[in-house]
Structure 1
């Protein structure tokens, strides 16, 4: 025989109830011997409790009761519950008159949930030509008088079950779960997970072939699928592992459910009523491979802290604490104890926390007077995440992932077996913490959640590059890039599962007004981990958001140079915030677009290499301009117009020609060497004659020919085989606080490294003590949206790999 148990969601009106009937019918017509245990249908138990409380408070409950009856009768041809509804009505009226109710009365009331459910299923089965029989477990399961959490009297219950099933073999017995009765036939309930307990007791007494527990999920998962979208089904577990899961809060299991099965070695299979083709999770006595099995969560718990320096070294303190717990019938799920400064943390159910606090304050009243105890407090804003199967050898991985995501556990606890670790987390952070830990332990790919600010030429290209490469990167690197937000200066588009290729049109149609705080709030609301914010704007004001982003778990990547070139005070403040919050800030594209320049300088500097000078052509636009003007027989204005036509310049070319962009890039490199220069201290040779510096861009473009004579004279004044280059140069005593920063137009030999530059390439010469007069040369494409976007993409991958 197989014992089938159906939960409340499975038995709810509609699809669930239909699936239950179909499942029973299939087994019945296949001649499989079965017995069925049912829970209360839908939310019946909660609704009955609400009715009780309303009656107790003398609030009119009749409308709610009528709604309850209507739901319970839905789909029936006749009212088969007249007797039950009449008794329930009288019980509620009695509670209303008395203004109170006992646990005994509560058990009588909530028992109707299972009674109505079993009668309903029996009736529908018989209507469908399936011989079924309502079986009241109060006749079978005899218990003590501990109303609300009664314990079965095993010998009597077993004899009752065997006798009953021996006499009733010709029908499918539909048994009420959760309820029993005392030896004097007073209704009792079996407490948490009571219907499962009823089913496991029947399986034990009847030596069942298998206990099949039908729920609304496909089995037991590596985490609650409602909380972790990437949770994976576990195919097999041992009873020991299942028991650990039950002890640490797995809702689908309870230790008392498992024990009767272990005694008879009866397999337990967790199945999905709504997906009957799925094999579910099978739990047997066979040991499975070692390793982490699942994450369990305890909510509705509180942390009680007892602190006292004066208790250090005193014996009997723990005994006093647990005596208080025992006297108040309070179970402690986790205890964490300090030694250097006496402190004890206890995790208890939240509904028992006040009672525990009062009991402990009374017990340690004298210790407060002697100042041996400083404080006893309760923290209700917690949850417990337990990693089942985790040992300390690899615990650093999920712990580091939490810290990297700015989640700090309040307390840690390791079991004696060393195979389970529990973390007490702030209630506000536990969902995100659960996703972070799950991703670290079970994730096939590390998920990186990205918010992109600015989707112009560089930003739009970057988005395209990510979408095109994402699947390949996930396959090769185990990194899943998920762009959850794209924003311009006014609107943002959110999608926690990642934006699609038509993001631009969607942003236009459905984008919403926003502040950066809304992006932060969205990430928190959806518990997104491994966050990166990318600034592809040119905004001088957006950088003010960097600090709040870093403080809220975002690493930063920027093609925007402003943050590194404003005041040195802001530069240092940002780096302090990054350090305090253990966040990274990458900006390789700030100088040299996609060239590995900043990383090279950082490594040289960190390794102790003394950099003596940096010189180079920093602007791809000006590289193109002077590379061509120096060797071609063309007017300066003609070459400049070519650069404009090719899209190499800004809309107003004076933004390139004034040298400020080169100056900012040079300042960024100086600050990488810990120099404290400000932008105003850079000596910049402005390539625009003063008469052309004012006015509109349109006017300037009309007057380009005015530049020809000036630059032809400079070109003619050069020596033989020399060419013009517009360079940035950092020199001076770089051991001091400040260096000498210059941006200028110079002549160099045509056969030198600078002189041989072609096209719009950039080149950088890094001089060091070790290399002497032979510089390290980095050369390549230093401009262009595709190159810059690819450099930002490189920073994304660099950051992502650090999170592996």
Structure 2
């Protein structure tokens, strides 16, 4: 005999029931069948609502009963010809009248008992069983309907009754011998107590009914037909990359179902596992899909089979020095919870015996707190232990797999993956079989955690990185262009899927959890919300996406002050904004320490030299044990451009104007010409070399007259350049007379730093530095005779964007 179970969505409409009939007709040559059906999808919830409304004295239950009646009447009218409907409608009305009478009685009494609720809930399965059996008869099949309450015997625990397998198996075997029908349809979920009262097997119990029958008749296979194509590696509603599991062991299926995989009801596995009956989970609406076959362990090359989770968990912690070395505390704790019928989902205890922690459903935490504190009232009064500590808003994420036991590093990989992304683990539990590693985390992190773990164990070729970009001007827009251009290469060659989940400029901000389309972000951004940095940060935190990176393309001091908020949430920061790293030393150091503490990257290569590897080269020297003796550099592409074009006969004013027109200077050229930008850059290099230095420790040898610097406006500044033309002409003539060239040079040596205009001779590496190029000379213990030189384009949106791009890839890898 073969047993098939069809869930609520599989019999949820006339079309679905017709599909069930087609599936069963295809099984015709294989012998006799036991078919277990659930109530129509959503009907059980409405039945519960009826009982609760009636018990509360609210007449609204009558309108809910009408909805239930109408739904089943519609199904009958769509499934059967008019000439055959009267008999079915008459039987339906008979059942619904009995249900209405039951609810009326509850309404009059004003109380809903567990016994009455079980009886109310049973009508969903009883009615769907009748309709399916009648439809099979109409299709010409030898079918009948059998009430499961006549076969399955339980205790009197209404709501979640325990099965008496001896009596149940006897009844099922007797039915099997006497039955002449090819197809027998059973209502799932329902059973009866020894005195004949209706009981239920718990929500989802139709699976259990099917397993009980399959085990009793030694079925060749148990098919569980549902609305998904088998068990998945994770919940597809939470993890879009989840994939079906083709084969899974009984033990793995049991673990996953206990930890929230809703495809199969947890108690279902035990009866069929004892008889080694294969269980095949199939999709009613895609019967050609393979589904999931549950059977004895199969060989696989990967350790983890699936990831599951339970929401709404509370942790109870009993602790105190009075527990150490004293037996009986654990026993008393569990007995107290047992008295309140509180199920314990997870247990962990410190080796010092100073504390024991258990996980329970959040709905039970108040009762748990009361009963445990009462149990240990004397010890709490004597300060031997503390009152029970209760933590809520948690969830359990479980990693399941038969092969984890023999695969080294699985738990390390799990914890490292979560830790790198700021997911805090509150408790850990692992059985001695090593088939399950369970972690308790904040429920706000559950989606992020499931995606991270799935990526780590099932998506090795592709790692998803989520970017939040502030600033989409010259540099930001070039970065987005480069990201779009390189998407295919990054996926194919580096295994990186880089998505832009948020962008912002000074006016608007735009978010998309699934990635902003880079081909039309310019059109989308104006449709976003008004820009607000505080709201931008909060939205990033609330999205809580894995492998998140904040990218700052601005020159804003306000934005630079927010980096710590990202880092302390495990969000990496990549920035070309120099303000943070050149601000107060304490803040610079704090950011570096936060990055280390929270396993986040803080990368700012483009702070100095745009796309040139200036900072990375310096860091590599220091990490390898080299010592920096001095740094000498031309660090301003705009100033280098100015002095390369300031030659005999040229007007200094016109050269500066040309630099501004080309976009090489800030809108106010004084920001560049004052040397402050170069001071920030040499300060950053000095700090990265290990110096504890502030901006006011740097000597700035100004070449601009005070009248130029202090001019009220940019226009006034240019007028002052004309006024002081002789001053600039003298600077140039002095250099030419000496056979030298003017360069704005930054220098750091043995704890001291300075910036200023210098005349460099032809034999100096700076002499032939053309255009807007930068150059840095590192004199170190290893490069003492001949300095290490980094040279190249040090300004421009393209090269700066490429430097940011490189930092993003570094943070991801």
TM over 0.5: yes
| 1:338 maps to 2:350 | yes
Cα deviation code 1:624-651 (max 9, x no counterpart): 3323445x87555565455445433334
Cα deviation code 1:240-275 (max 9, x no counterpart): 222222343432234531122223332211122233
Matches within 5 A, 1:128-207: 132-207=143-218
CA distance in structure 1 between the partners assigned to 2:141 and 2:748 by the alignment: 91
Q: Contact 2:610 / 2:799 at 8 angstroms: preserved in 1? A: yes
Give the match for residue 45 of structure 1: 44
CA distance in structure 1 between the partners assigned to 2:15 and 2:523 by the alignment: 35
SS at match of 1:81: helix
CA distance in structure 2 between the partners assigned to 1:131 and 1:510 by the alignment: 62
CA distance in structure 1 between the partners assigned to 2:138 and 2:523 by the alignment: 52
Q: Contact 1:236 / 1:288 at 8 angstroms: preserved in 2? A: no
Match of 2:269 among 258, 261, 283: 258
Q: Contact 1:435 / 1:527 at 8 angstroms: preserved in 2? A: no
Q: Contact 2:468 / 2:501 at 8 angstroms: preserved in 1? A: yes
Q: Contact 1:533 / 1:549 at 8 angstroms: preserved in 2? A: yes
| 1:725 maps to 2:743 | yes
Cα deviation code 1:435-459 (max 9, x no counterpart): 2222222223221111000001110
- Aligned-pair CA distance for 1:434: 2.3
Match of 1:602 among 603, 606, 619: 619
Match of 1:482 among 499, 502, 527: 499
Q: Contact 1:594 / 1:788 at 8 angstroms: preserved in 2? A: yes
CA distance in structure 1 between the partners assigned to 2:313 and 2:713 by the alignment: 67
Change (3 A) 1:190 1:508: closer
Deviates more, 1:138-147 or 1:555-564: 138-147
Match of 1:358 among 354, 359, 370: 370
Where in structure 2 are there 5+ consecutive unaligned residues? 78-84
- Aligned-pair CA distance for 1:167: 4.9
Give the match for residue 82 of structure 2: none
CA distance in structure 2 between the partners assigned to 1:341 and 1:143 by the alignment: 40
Cα deviation code 1:37-58 (max 9, x no counterpart): 1111111212211211111111
Give the match for residue 660 of structure 1: 676
CA distance in structure 2 between the partners assigned to 1:316 and 1:215 by the alignment: 46
Q: Contact 1:237 / 1:288 at 8 angstroms: preserved in 2? A: no
Give the match for residue 252 of structure 2: 241
Give the match for residue 320 of structure 1: 332
- Aligned-pair CA distance for 1:27: 4.1
Change (3 A) 1:434 1:508: closer
Q: Contact 2:102 / 2:120 at 8 angstroms: preserved in 1? A: yes
Q: Contact 2:503 / 2:525 at 8 angstroms: preserved in 1? A: no
Change (3 A) 1:523 1:65: farther
- Aligned-pair CA distance for 1:66: 1.8
Cα deviation code 1:708-743 (max 9, x no counterpart): 654443333235542221111123x32xxxx2x322
SS at match of 1:174: strand
CA distance in structure 2 between the partners assigned to 1:629 and 1:768 by the alignment: 33
Give the match for residue 542 of structure 1: 559
TM normalised by structure 1 equals: 0.92
Match of 2:466 among 415, 435, 449: 449
Where in structure 1 are there 5+ consecutive unaligned residues? none
- Aligned-pair CA distance for 1:327: 4.0
TM normalised by structure 2 equals: 0.91
Give the match for residue 68 of structure 2: 68
Deviates more, 1:330-339 or 1:88-97: 330-339
- Aligned-pair CA distance for 1:304: 1.7
Give the match for residue 415 of structure 1: 431
SS at match of 2:633: strand
Cα deviation code 1:258-303 (max 9, x no counterpart): 1222233322111222333321111112433261111121224332
Q: Contact 2:533 / 2:559 at 8 angstroms: preserved in 1? A: no
Q: Contact 1:312 / 1:339 at 8 angstroms: preserved in 2? A: no
Q: Contact 1:637 / 1:707 at 8 angstroms: preserved in 2? A: no
Count of aligned pairs: 793
CA distance in structure 2 between the partners assigned to 1:512 and 1:173 by the alignment: 59
Give the match for residue 349 of structure 1: 361
Q: Contact 1:308 / 1:375 at 8 angstroms: preserved in 2? A: no
Deviates more, 1:249-258 or 1:750-759: 249-258
Q: Contact 2:631 / 2:747 at 8 angstroms: preserved in 1? A: yes
- Aligned-pair CA distance for 1:155: 4.2
Change (3 A) 1:720 1:202: same
Give the match for residue 471 of structure 1: 488
- Aligned-pair CA distance for 1:232: 1.9
SS at match of 2:186: strand
CA distance in structure 1 between the partners assigned to 2:741 and 2:470 by the alignment: 40
| 1:713 maps to 2:730 | yes
Matches within 5 A, 1:460-609: 460-609=477-626
Give the match for residue 435 of structure 1: 451
Give the match for residue 811 of structure 2: 799
SS at match of 1:5: strand
Q: Contact 2:653 / 2:718 at 8 angstroms: preserved in 1? A: no
- Aligned-pair CA distance for 1:21: 4.3
Q: Contact 2:320 / 2:385 at 8 angstroms: preserved in 1? A: yes
Q: Contact 1:115 / 1:176 at 8 angstroms: preserved in 2? A: yes
Q: Contact 1:493 / 1:506 at 8 angstroms: preserved in 2? A: no
Deviates more, 1:555-564 or 1:149-158: 149-158
Structural RMSD (CA):
2.7
Deviates more, 1:767-776 or 1:50-59: 767-776
Change (3 A) 1:532 1:109: same
CA distance in structure 1 between the partners assigned to 2:416 and 2:525 by the alignment: 39
